Structure formats: C-alpha cells, structure tokens
Structure 1
Amino acid sequence: RTAKDIGIDRPEKNEILHNIPPTPEQEVFIGKLMEFAKSGDATILGRAPLSESEERAKMLIATDYARKMSLDLRMIDENVYSDHIDNKASHCAKLLNDYYQKYDAQKGTQFVFSDLGTYKPGGDFNVYSEIKRKLVEDYHIPSYEIRFIQECKNEKAKKAMVDAMNRGDIRIIFGSTSMLGTGVNAQQRAVAVHQLDTPWRPSDLEQRNGRAIRKGNLVAKEFADNKVDVIIYAVERSLDSYKFNLLHNKQLFINQLKTNTLGSRTIDEGSMDEDSGMNFSEYVAVLSGNTDLLEKARLDKKITTLESERKNFLRERDAATGKLAEIESSVSFHTDKVKEAQSDLALFKKRVERDDEGTPINKLTIKGVEDSTDIKAIAARLQEIDEKARTKGEYNKIGEIYGFSIMVKTESTSKDLFDCSVNRFFVKGQESIYYTYNNGKLATDPKLACQNFINALERIPKVIESHEKEMEKVVANKDVYTNIANGSWKKEDELRALKGEAAELDRKIALTLAPPEEEKEDIGQEAQHGAIQQSKSVNVISESRSYKNSFSKNTDNIPLPTSPKNNSQQNVSDNNDITSKVIISKPKWKM
C-alpha cells in the first residue's frame, strides 16, 4: 500500500518541467553529436579516434556526451566552452534564488540533485560550485548557507549538516543520489527539489524527491499548501525529457501495479540504459526534434488516458450491476420477512387473550412444569434450563405460548482464551423468524422472566417496521446504480480513431527511424555469420533492446518558471507536458 492509502500526512509533489532552449554553443554541439552518431568519427567531438572497443560502445559514448552537453558544455571541455546566461546552471541559480526569497521568512530550504558534475575539492570545473558561485556573486546569498553533501567526511559531519538544514542555517544543499538521496531527514523546512539530471532507476528518483516529500515537513504544510515543487530541468533537443519520461513511465507502471489501476498491460520502456546508451535511430530523432515522434507521444498519452477512463467505466458498470443484484436479493429477503411477521402478528392477535385493561394474559407452558399458572415453578424451571441446557447451537423446544413454540439455543463464545456458553430464549414464528425480548436473556425476577415470551410476541410490529426501514435504505440508491449499469461509454469512437492515427504514425515513424545502410549491412553480416555457426536454420534478430509501454502520466498545465534571460523562453514549446517531449516508438508486446 502507498503512503496515501495508509493516510501518512506528507506534502504532495508538484512536478514542474522547466524547458530551456539550447545555447548557441549547444546548438552547434548537438549537430556534432548527430554527425558522430552517424559516422563514429570521434574527432568531430574534439577527441582522439575511437579504439576498437570504443567503436562497439559508440552509442554509449554518444549518450554520455549528450548528458554532459545538456548539463554544461564545460563538463566536456572547460577550456573550449564558456558560461552562458541561458545555460542550465543559470536557470537553476535563478530559480533557487526565487524560492530562497519567497520563503526567506520561514528559512525555506532546497535540495539540488545531480549525479554528473558533483563537487570535488580542487580547481576542476563542477556544476555544484558553478551554481554556488552564481548564487553568491549574482544573487548575494551568503556562501555559508549553501553546502555540498560531499563535504561531509563521516556520519557525524553529515548529521550536523542535516540538523543545520532543519534549523534553516543551511538553505540550499547539493548532492548526488547515493549521498543525498537516502538517509537524509532534512525535510522540516523543504520547499523545492531541483533535478538537474535524471537517475537511471525509478526508485532513485523517488528517493531524491523523498528528501522533501515526507512526514514532518512543517514549512510546506503551514506555508506552501502542503506541496513541494519538484523542478525537472530539460534542455530542448537533448535527452533530458526523453530520459525523464522513460523513468516516469516505469514508476507510473509500478505504482499502477501496486494500486491495481492499470489501464493497459503493456509498457514500452524505450531503448536507453546506463550500460548501452541509446540506439542510433531514436538518438538522432530526439536531437533533431522529429515532429512525428512528438505527435506520436501526444497520441499515446491521449490513448492511455482514454483506455484508463474506459477501464474505470467498465469497472464501475460491473460494480453497479453487482450492486443491483445485491439490492434485489436484499429487497426479496426483507419482503419475505415482512410477510412472515405480518402472518405471525395476525395469528397472535387472533389467539391472544387480554384482561380488562387490554394487557395480554401470559398463557405460558414449559416442559417439566404441570401447573401453567405457577409463576414461581415456571421461573425456576426456566432458570434451570438457562444453567444446564447445552444445545450445541441448535434450537430446542422447551414450551409453548398461544401455539407458538418457545425455544432455547446455546451460543458459544471465546473470551480471554476461555470458552463461554450462553443460552438465549426465543419464540418461533410460523416459518423462519425467531422473536426475542431483552436479546433473549432471562430476567432474574421470576415474574419478569416469565413475561419474556409474551413481550417477544408483542414486539412483532417493531420487527415489521425494522424490515421495512431496511428495505427503504436498500432501494434508496437503486436508480443511481440502474443508470450506471445501463450506461454506455461515449468515447469508444474517439478511442478507435486515435488508435488508427497512432498505427498510421507508427508505420511512418518506422520508416523514418530505419537504420542507415551501413548499420543494416553490419546487421546482415552478423546474422549471416551467426546462421553459419548455428546450422543455417537460425533466424538472427538484430535489434536488441525493446521493452513495452504505451502510457505516460498526464502532467498537463505544468507551470513554466521564468527564464533568467528575458527572451530565453520565446522558443519554448507551448506544450509543457513532460510526455510531449519524449519519443516512444518501440513495438509493444503483451505482458
């Protein structure tokens, strides 16, 4: 079960995809990356030609360069590339200051995560130190309020830093997934989490966010509507959004499995991982900004949303149908009981004798007592039965009153590891109803004990009233369930049309993403070689890494924070949906 299911009081996650246009230097480098992916000529990237082993890992190298390029080109060569007002570090520094000022009175704290460009003592360039420099020099935030988790050499130092975060003495902390993502309970004043890069595993992303989105976040609860902003920084035409969406889809699939809310049983995890990088076709497509892939992602999202909606509708309709069956069964039960009780009441009224004041005369006969007028003898016999009778859960007849059978039943219960037996007394109706008074327990007073059974018959009108009220409750919502059970889903045609569009787009994309001729030739040669070695009848499959998925989390209407540069967002797509920046074009297999 999830934290929400068990009612843990913790902040909600408010994900914000912060799009960043590539800088001019990044634009040029993206072109170089595409050329390198096609040719394998490493000199294009300013490095020595690839060795034989490196050639086999060409796409892993290309993926690594793309990640570094997105974070900061100085990660590749700090002597060749320079700072830029619109790079990721500048955007992050701007937003860090925005949150710093907004929650200054509460000493709101922030987490910054990146597994690339981590802090290392010395003069080498790292993104942590660069962002800190901007915060200190450009925004005049005190240096001592900005710390790196890598500064802690032992657990004692780490605990001291965590305590300082909770006090608000440290306002901004940088760290990697491994060092800051686990075992850090510094959530008391957390207002934002900044994701400069994306880890490889869903659990790592959850751990990162969990530093702030956890029980005990006092500032978020009191001053931020119990929400924590999680800002994902994504450079356009980089792998940022693609990688984040793959991770997002995996986590969504896991969560839906846990909560039994899957709208589809397929998942396409894409073709990107930390061991092999990304395949050539999708790599080039993402960097080139292929609009077909963008449209396919949007269609997939719509289809996933409608499929989930359709599944929920069918589930509700089935539940309503089942509820109607329960209602019919319950109505039938209570109707029968009302008829039985009315028949018993009519018979009782016909047989009962009353005195001058209208009080029913207690004509009670009990087995073992000859004189039916001797109240004391009857009461003594009833007490004896109450103490000694053991019916093993069966109804045993012990007497009569106005032609109705008087019954006793032994009920066994366990209390404090001991078995207890209790006898209860009833008046049986003509069919299946057993009437009681005082819950079937005898009074200690002899006269009242004998009155138990006539009182039970006098309660028949209340029994009828009780069944009628229950029947009213049962049928109260019958019309609602009937409407649901007889309803039909109105968007079937829309879903069918979207699936047709998606299938057509899949075919178009498949042609667009066909591997280049030289890659086809290499694949063919490998297949032929494998066939010769394994007896000429083996069909070799050339493409390896395909997983399944066809859904993405709906994150429409995510607010887009402002750029540190006035015109930096002019080229940003109006669609801020995380999934709209991602390419999902793999074939899907059923699970």
Structure 2
Amino acid sequence: MKDGEPCTSRGVSTVLEGVTPRPRTKGSMAWRFLPYELYSVQRYLQYDTLLRNGLQHFDAWASTFGETITALELAPEGTNYRAKTRFAKFHNLPELMLMFREIADIQTADMLKLPVPKVNYHNIKVAPSDIQKEMVASLAKRAEKVRARAVEPQVDNMLKITNDGRKLALDQRLIDPMLPDDAGSKVNACVDNMYRIWEEHADTRAAQLLFCDLSTPKGDGTFNVYDDIREKLIQRGIPAEQIRFIHEAATDAKKKELFAKVRSGEVRILLGSTQKMGAGTNVQDRLIAIHNLDCPWVRLEVA
C-alpha cells in the first residue's frame, strides 16, 4: 500500500471501534471532532464517497463543510492578544452528517439514557502573587525575543515558554524551589478544599481524586506538588495511609488493589495524572469530588 492510499482501496474491510465524539450541547449533532479528525475517519472508511464528491483533499472538504474566522486570542506567554485564524464551525451540516452516518453508529447521551450522577462544577479563582506577576512579564519578554529570532531555538523557544507558564500557574516554586510558598496559591486553595470535604464526609468515608499532570513525584527529593499536598493534608490531621499516589501502583495488580481500597473507604484521597488515572480508574463507589489542578496538555483529555 502506498503512502496516502486509503485502506479501503483494495477491498480491505475496516472497522474503527471506540470512536466516541461527545456533543457540545445536550442533544447536539455537532460532534466535538476536530475537522481533520472527522475528515481522516471519512478518508479511512469512505474514500470512494469522498472521491465521487470531489472531497478527497482536505482543502476541498474544509471549504465545503467548514468555516474559518479570525479572532483575537491570548498569546502563549499570557500577556497580550494576537489575531489567529481557526476553523470555527461546520456548515452544510445535514449533508455532512448524512454522509457520515453511512459509516458511523451514532448514539447520543439522550438516546442511551445511562444513569449518571449530577455534577456540580466549581471554578475556584486565586489571585497571582507579586512574584508570579513579575515572572509572567519575563515570559512576555522571552516570547518577543523568540519571535524576533534574537535567540537560538535550542536556547529558548515558545514550547519552553509555554511550559514555564504552565508551571508558574500551578506553583511558583516549580520555577525556583527557593521561592516562598504563597499562602494564596492554587495548591493551597486546593488543600483547603480537600480537607474541608474530607472532614464533612467523614461519616461516609467519601473519596476524592486530584488530577495534576505537572510536577509528579519522582522520589529524588526534589520539590513536587504531590508531596507538598500530601504533607499539608497530613499536618492538618488526615492519616497518611488515607492519601495515596497512583504512581505507587506500578502494575495492574497493584492498581486493582489500590482501587479496591478507595472503593472500600480505606483510601480517601488519590492523586494522579490524567495519563495514569484517567480511563479505567474504577473508584466511583464513594467518590464525592474531583479536583483538577492543571489543564491536560492533550486536547482529547480535556473533559
């Protein structure tokens, strides 16, 4: 098979399983596929249909079913805005979905009517410290140098700047461990919230999950958010054995054992990353709260 040749071109039968795009709104038919994701699925499974309609190339497909807009968005360094052109929405949606339904079995939440708990979302805002404000300004200066090509890419680049910005937003000590622990930081606000929930639900031994993709424990003595949170919760009176890291369960058998302890109420606080504690984490029996300290890097991991 040549590069770019669709897998159906030689009579190969192909089935894609587990493709579960989620609707933007209740009952919506505008699935949260990125345009190129939907196009790629169609190219795999109905290339002949695309060819027959002159849509085998993405540019033709996008101009038929998509609309782009140019709008201001926050720059990666987080200090100013810039104009960016993006694929904004689908149009000719009935025709697109009629074509897509030839290869897709679509089941919405309204159709499945699965029993799911009611979710209450809380966005907790914290003010940046003076040190964080100064560091954000320095990120902007670094970004200006990168755009002006005044610095070599191996020395500094936008990926490094963006990553430093993510660390800074989580805790300023991730940039410099010698910096003070800001009492009003995101981490300390989360600790306050977790302890309050732990105390309020002591009678039912309800469980909590905390997701944090940055600053995972390495066991080498360096500062990380995981150890910092656990130490602060223990200092407030939560037994150490009730707080666990998903990283401590290195095998499937150990994960199964750990999840069983969460379901039984023996472990009441479990910390982990999206990758290690995402799909397949069967601990919902006593689950009362989920805390998200940072935003996942990969789009599909954003709920």
**TM-score of the two chains, using structure 1 as the length reference:** 0.32
Select 1:88's aligned residue among 176, 186, 208: 186
Q: Where do residues 338-349 of structure 1 align in structure 2 (5 Å cutoff)?
A: none
Residue equivalent to 1:7: 113
Q: Does 1:180 align with 2:286?
A: no
Q: Post-superposition shift, 1:20?
A: 0.8
SS at match of 1:192: strand
- CA–CA distance in 2 between the matches of 1:52 and 1:29? 21
SS at match of 2:262: helix
Q: Where do residues 109-124 of structure 1 align in structure 2 (5 Å cutoff)?
A: 109-124=207-222
Q: Where do residues 376-391 of structure 1 align in structure 2 (5 Å cutoff)?
A: none
Letter in 1 for 2:243: I
For the 8 Å contact 2:145–2:151, the answer to whether it is kept is no
Residue equivalent to 2:253: 156
Letter in 2 for 1:53: P
Q: Post-superposition shift, 1:159?
A: 0.6
- List per-residue Cα deviations over 1:433-453 (Å, max 9, x = no partner): xxxxxxxxxxxxxxxxxxxxx
Select 2:295's aligned residue among 174, 198, 212: 198
Q: Does 1:74 align with 2:180?
A: no
- CA–CA distance in 2 between the matches of 1:74 and 1:156? 35
Letter in 1 for 2:140: M
Q: Where do residues 563-582 of structure 1 align in structure 2 (5 Å cutoff)?
A: none
Judging changes above 3 Å, is the alpha-carbon distance between structure 1 residues 38 and 51 closer, same or farther for their aligned structure 2 residues? closer
Residue equivalent to 1:62: 161
Comparing both chains, which one has the higher relative contact order based on Cα–Cα distances under 8 Å and sequence gaps of 6 or more?
Answer: 1
Q: Post-superposition shift, 1:33?
A: 1.5
Q: Post-superposition shift, 1:169?
A: 0.6
- CA–CA distance in 2 between the matches of 1:183 and 1:33? 37
Q: Does 1:53 align with 2:153?
A: yes
Following TM superposition, the consecutive aligned residue runs of length 4 or more in structure 1 with deviations greater than 6 angstroms are none
Judging changes above 3 Å, is the alpha-carbon distance between structure 1 residues 3 and 163 closer, same or farther for their aligned structure 2 residues? farther
Q: Post-superposition shift, 1:106?
A: 0.9
SS at match of 1:77: coil
After superposition, the CA RMSD in angstroms is 1.9
- List per-residue Cα deviations over 1:220-244 (Å, max 9, x = no partner): xxxxxxxxxxxxxxxxxxxxxxxxx
Q: Which runs of 5+ in 2 are unaligned?
A: 1-106
Q: Post-superposition shift, 1:120?
A: 1.7
Letter in 1 for 2:282: N
- CA–CA distance in 2 between the matches of 1:194 and 1:163? 20
- List per-residue Cα deviations over 1:338-371 (Å, max 9, x = no partner): xxxxxxxxxxxxxxxxxxxxxxxxxxxxxxxxxx
Judging changes above 3 Å, is the alpha-carbon distance between structure 1 residues 2 and 168 closer, same or farther for their aligned structure 2 residues? farther
Residue equivalent to 1:132: 230
- CA–CA distance in 1 between the matches of 2:110 and 2:219? 41
- CA–CA distance in 1 between the matches of 2:144 and 2:271? 36
- CA–CA distance in 1 between the matches of 2:224 and 2:112? 42
Q: Post-superposition shift, 1:95?
A: 0.5
SS at match of 1:191: strand
- CA–CA distance in 1 between the matches of 2:284 and 2:158? 39
Q: Post-superposition shift, 1:202?
A: 4.4
- CA–CA distance in 2 between the matches of 1:90 and 1:4? 39
- List per-residue Cα deviations over 1:422-463 (Å, max 9, x = no partner): xxxxxxxxxxxxxxxxxxxxxxxxxxxxxxxxxxxxxxxxxx
Judging changes above 3 Å, is the alpha-carbon distance between structure 1 residues 8 and 202 closer, same or farther for their aligned structure 2 residues? farther
Q: Post-superposition shift, 1:12?
A: 2.3
- CA–CA distance in 1 between the matches of 2:110 and 2:173? 42
Letter in 2 for 1:24: D
Judging changes above 3 Å, is the alpha-carbon distance between structure 1 residues 205 and 13 closer, same or farther for their aligned structure 2 residues? farther
- CA–CA distance in 1 between the matches of 2:133 and 2:245? 31
SS at match of 1:5: helix
Q: Where do residues 102-113 of structure 1 align in structure 2 (5 Å cutoff)?
A: 102-113=200-211
Q: Greater CA radius of gyration, 1 or 2? A: 1
Letter in 2 for 1:94: D
Q: Post-superposition shift, 1:76?
A: 1.6
SS at match of 1:111: strand
- CA–CA distance in 2 between the matches of 1:174 and 1:53? 35
Letter in 2 for 1:105: D
- CA–CA distance in 2 between the matches of 1:203 and 1:53? 28
Select 2:240's aligned residue among 136, 139, 143: 143
Q: Where do residues 231-310 of structure 1 align in structure 2 (5 Å cutoff)?
A: none
Q: Which has the higher helix share?
A: 1
- List per-residue Cα deviations over 1:456-495 (Å, max 9, x = no partner): xxxxxxxxxxxxxxxxxxxxxxxxxxxxxxxxxxxxxxxx
- CA–CA distance in 2 between the matches of 1:152 and 1:14? 30
SS at match of 1:20: coil
- CA–CA distance in 2 between the matches of 1:189 and 1:5? 27
Residue equivalent to 1:37: 143
SS at match of 1:174: strand
SS at match of 2:123: strand
- CA–CA distance in 2 between the matches of 1:58 and 1:154? 37
- CA–CA distance in 2 between the matches of 1:4 and 1:167? 32
Q: Post-superposition shift, 1:38?
A: 2.1
Letter in 1 for 2:152: E
How many residue pairs get aligned? The number is: 195
Q: Does 1:100 align with 2:198?
A: yes
- CA–CA distance in 2 between the matches of 1:19 and 1:94? 13
SS at match of 2:112: coil
Q: Post-superposition shift, 1:40?
A: 4.5
For the 8 Å contact 2:260–2:283, the answer to whether it is kept is yes
- List per-residue Cα deviations over 1:101-129 (Å, max 9, x = no partner): 12111111111001101122121111011
- CA–CA distance in 1 between the matches of 2:266 and 2:296? 29
- List per-residue Cα deviations over 1:387-425 (Å, max 9, x = no partner): xxxxxxxxxxxxxxxxxxxxxxxxxxxxxxxxxxxxxxx
Letter in 2 for 1:52: E
Q: Where do residues 125-524 of structure 1 align in structure 2 (5 Å cutoff)?
A: 125-137=223-235, 139-206=236-303
